[in-house]
Amino acid sequence: MRKKMIRAIFPGSFDPITNGHLDVIGRSIKLFDELIVAVGRSPIKNPLFTPQERVEMIAELTADIPGVLVESFDGLTVEYAAKKKADVILRGLRSLTDVAYEFQLAMTNRAVAGIETVFVMTSEQYGFTTSTMIREVASLGGDVSNLIPKAIYKKLQQRLKSVSDNP
């Protein structure tokens, strides 16, 4: 009997991608045959990097992980998941605060589109890390070099300098 291939999507803004995101990707690919890291375009967030820049950064960081693809998408996550014929939506959880929000989102996605959500807990050392917090701390001169990959830290520093040079 042939085993069913399981495709998951891991949606997010990833602005910038964090060590916590990479932790979830690295552990989750063991659960799925294919994992699409789906870089969303949120109309309510003010991104530091373009979707294409984020896709390129993530693709570079995950290039040696078989089964991981990186794409950007517009619109509803469930519509993108259907288009990609994904079996599940993957979500990382950091804290109890995430659980309430993610639970509601997962129930809505199942009710609206019939797609299941799989949750993976972020490793303890990344439980407090968010892209928003990293952008904020870095923009105020704080050192976030231990929370994001080195290559991303350099790009973040360059972007923040160019933003401050051109207000």
Enumerate the active-site residues.
21, 45, 94, 131
Give the C-alpha separation, 114 to 160, whole Å: 41
- For residue 27, what are the contacts with CB-CB under 8 A and spacing of at least 6? 120
How many Å apart are CA 94 and CA 80, to the nearest integer?
24
Count of residues making up the chain: 167
Virtual torsion, Cα 11, 16, 21, 22, nearest 10 deg: 120
- Nearest alpha-carbon partner for 54 in 82, 21, 28, 17: 17
Count Cβ neighbours within 10 Å for each residue of 96-118 and write b for 16 or more, e otherwise: eebeeebeeebeebeeeeebebb
